[in-house]
Amino acid sequence: MLEAARDADASVATAAVGSTGHVGLEPLVTATLDGETAFFSECSPGRARSVTEALDGGTLPSEDAVAVVEHEPGAATLPVPDEGPLAVGERGVLGSCGWAVPGSIEDYRAGAGSLPTDLELADALSRLRESGLRGRGRGDASADAPVADEWTTASEAAGDPVVVVNANEADDRAAGDDLLLEGAPLSVLDPALTAAEALGASDVVAYLSEDADLARERVRAAADALVEARDPEASLRVVVGPDEYKAGEPTMALEAIEGNHRLEARRRPPGPSEYGLNGRPTLVHTPRTLAQVGRVLAGVDPGGVPADPGTRLFTVAGDVAAPATVELSTGATLSDALPAVEPEGSRKAACVGGVFGGVTRSLDVPASAPGLESARLGTNGAVELVGESTCMVALAGERAKFAREENCGRCGPCREGSKQLVDLLRDVYDGEFADGMLRELGRTMRETSLCGFGSDAARPVTTTIDVFETEFHAHADGRCPSGTCTKL
Amino acid sequence: MSTDPIWEDTTTGADVPLTEDIAPGTANDPPAGSTEAATLTVDGQTVEASVGSTLLDACEAVETDGDVLALCSYDDEEQIGPRSECRTCMVETEEHGVVPSCSFPVEDDMTVSTDTESASEARDVNLDLILSNHNLLCTTCGANGRCDLQDVAIENDVEEPRYGVLHDRSQLEPIDDSSPFIQIDRNKCILCNRCVEACNDVQVEGVLRMEESGGETRIGFQNDADTMMDSTCVSCGHCATVCPTGALVEQGLVDATTLPVPGFTHKNSAEGIVGEDYERQRTQMTPMKREGDTRNEPRVSRPEPAATAEDDWL
Ligand code: SF4
Ligand code: SF4
Ligand code: SF4
Ligand code: FES
């Protein structure tokens, strides 16, 4: 696309930026002239060329644009149309995604969230503490817990601290971290470097999945630019791990970075903030957390509800024409994200929280960690819409099977529990629905597993039983209400 | 001096692997135990716990209301455990909810209860989960009468494990009878990791490792051997000494405590046997020990020197 635009041989500046989060609009081309921007979705190379030519000729083409927005000339963040998918939610941490050049220090510093470079630990801590910010995503060692606590522990622990940016997320239902790294890597790396400096840590490690090629390329470039601009002595390494779900678990991430040949979760307490990478006190944050940290440290009012300030990224996927990642205030509800996507068929449920998310009929659930938790949904930022044609019992079974196959094998409740979970679900197909046993097993896995994988693994099953109990009984009676289980 | 070739010195060089070459396949766990001494309450009784204590230490200091089974924990402090994998030692704390006592550090003023509903349920279910993957044929097992799993099952009044036990012969792994010193029956293994730690951390032999994941998780050999005979084992026997079940048994003891049920032996308890073709081992050192080495190939990249995708993945 960029080639096509450049081929137009015009004196128009072109740049490849990151995604806006709205996959359905892509390829998306924006054309800007004098404080006015036109959006062209699903743009063909030919169209890109003609847009460039028009700009070269001094006019902003608006014919067949999905939106045209007026804004301040030289705006640092994506101008947002009043309606359409791009108008959904807010664009705080996503502000420069789809707008700024990903590795450009100038673009980044022009944005609102650029950080002071000489923040003292005490200052950083008090800002984080005051804000009450919590970690985001399942790969964060302080997921849903106050970030300030983790920093305090790491700063008090003995040893040379280190900061790990955990961006290894194999569940593409949760695309927020990759979106940030591809579109605004500096808004993640800069706070990571600030954290390292505040803690007196000598290095930062960005840990990605081996398959995240674009993110890695952009992180690498951004890291080089940042190190040069901020501190040539700083060490910012990029390390990749397997593209496996478990590899994103915070302690397995550390094992992978250390080069262990078999991934296994670490026993805790103490957690990574005391004993992390090579035994050093380690902050393990996801890109989404760091982007929020960046805004708080830059003095931006994070907004949202006091119990979980800031915004959260939600990727709406599943039975939709194309997934979309949107940013919601924690004061919003999940249903506020729905206009961003085009549902396929009518929706009967949603699974919130990724592969091991919770099942719900209603999306009128607060987009905050406490809100999601009390609805027994997951907080990793994935909202998967489930259409009428999906059998909920089969869905629960698939998730249990995934747990059985993908767990690290270390602890009994998860390794053996997921096996029994699958077997008990199979029994439903043979006419026996042992719901008491399923619940007991689900409880035990949740409360006694060694890591988050096992604690979450039974959630799709237990929440589906709660919401769709009649479907389980129907299966035990030899009938699949949605008509998809043919072996009954 | 015996003329048995087993005493011949056939070593030609350093056999002990360097610790950095040892790849036990297990996580680099943090140290367990508290960094400070603490006074806490266990089932209403006050306990003074010293530095380095876990909740299990505190529970063991008093008469607890509930039986804290602690199946996978190892008493000895000899660099073994706590692995904290079986989760049959769960207790309830006011401060942190239900936690594994074997590895949870004591904290000052903590309040611990061993017999709450959720702690007991957690222990019961987890013990049954371990049993569900176990070939519970105690009468033909080499560890009959000296087995920790048997002990805790009796202690916990297990009559019928809720998920059953592993008895489908086609699902059983063949017994590894290749070594004249140690027999391995993985159908009895609870994956407590003690043998791996004894072999790597105590003996520094680098023979055993954890391998695979999920339901396939098993103890294996660092040199990729399929059988004990092909491993780099020096037959020191430490692994068998620490094994809590009949998974690793000294050959001489395999039938020492089994009950003479006609037609039933330990060897025919599983579908197959590997390693029968080795008739006799000539030296104490297995053949692979002389040539082989341990293996520690990183699965993930080292820091990348350049920005190309291929270079990242070593
Ligand atoms: S919960 Fe599952 S993934 Fe986590 S340590 Fe236990 S077995 Fe491994
Ligand atoms: S007997 Fe062999 S496998 Fe067992 S601890 Fe000794 S060297 Fe290791
Ligand atoms: S063989 Fe024995 S010591 Fe080794 S993991 Fe299995 S049960 Fe534990
Ligand atoms: S004894 Fe604590 S987990 Fe096994």
CB within 8 Å: B25 and A410: no
Q: What is the pLDDT of residue B295?
A: 52
Which residues are CB-contacts of A301 (< 8 A; sequence separation ≥ 6)?
A: none
- Chain B segment 50-89 residues within 8 A of A by beta carbon are 82-88
Question: Which atom in ligand 4 lies closest to the alpha carbon of residue B72?
Answer: 4
What confidence tier does B136 reach under pLDDT thresholds 50, 70, 90? confident
Range of lowest pLDDT (A155-164, B85-94, B132-141): B132-141
Predicted confidence (pLDDT) per residue in A192-238, tens digit: 999 999 999 989 999 999 999 999 999 999 999 999 998 899 999 99
Question: Using CA atoms, how far apart are residues A457 and A448, in angstroms rounded to an integer?
Answer: 12
Say what the pLDDT of residue B279 is: 53
A398/B205 Cα distance (integer angstroms):
42
pTM to 2 decimal places: 0.91
The protein residue whose alpha carbon is closest to atom 4 in ligand 3 is B195
Residues from chain B that touch A401, judged by Cβ atoms under 8 A, are: none
For ligand 1, the distance from its centroid to the CA atom of residue A451, given in whole angstroms, is 5
Residue having the nearest C-alpha atom to atom 1 of ligand 4: B70
Q: Which letter, b or e, does each residue of A163-182 get, where b requires 16 or more Cβ atoms within 10 Å of its Cβ?
A: bbbbbbbbbebbbbbbbbbb
Omega before B262 within 30 of 0, i.e. cis? no
C-alpha B74 to ligand 3 mean position (Å): 12
Atom 3 of ligand 3 has which residue's CA nearest to it?
A: B243
Comparing alpha-carbon positions, the chain B residue that sits nearest to A209 is B300
Instruction: Assign B142 a pLDDT band (cuts: 50, 70, 90).
Output: confident
Instruction: Provide the ipTM.
Output: 0.93
Provide the 8-state DSSP code for A447: H
Q: Which tens digits make up the pLDDT trace of A96-121?
A: 999 999 999 999 988 766 777 778 89
Q: Is the pLDDT of residue A374 over 90?
A: yes
Average pLDDT over residues B111-118: 96
Say yes or no: B303 contacts chain A, CB-CB below 8 A. Answer: yes
Tell me the pLDDT tens digit for each residue of B115-128.
999 999 999 999 99
Using an 8 Å Cβ cutoff, are B248 and B239 in contact? yes
d(CA B71, ligand 4 centre) in Å: 6
- Inter-chain CB proximity B122 and A407 less than 8 Å: no
Q: Which atom of ligand 4 is nearest to the CA of B102?
A: 2
Q: Taking the alpha carbons of A59, A60, A64, A70 in that order, is the dihedral positive or negative?
A: negative
Mean pLDDT for B217-221 is: 96
CB A482 within 8 Å of CB B132: no
Helix (H, G, I), strand (E, B), or coil: what is residue A131?
helix
User: Is B103 in CB contact (< 8 Å) with chain A?
Assistant: yes
Ligand 1 atom 4, closest CA: A451
- Determine whether the interchain pair A420/B129 forms a contact, defined as Cβ–Cβ distance below 8 Å: yes
Q: Which residues pair with B274 in a beta bridge?
A: B176
Instruction: Say yes or no: B109 contacts chain A, CB-CB below 8 A.
Output: no
pLDDT of residue B13: 45
What's the pLDDT band for A307 if we cut at 50, 70, 90? very high
**Which secondary structure element, helix H or strand E, spans residue A439, and what is its range?**
helix A435-448
Largest CA distance in chain B: 68
pLDDT band at A481 (very low <50, low <70, confident <90, very high): very high
pLDDT 10s digits, A148-196 = 999 999 999 999 999 999 999 999 999 999 999 999 999 999 999 999 9
Chain segment A16-30, per-residue pLDDT in tens: 999 999 999 999 999
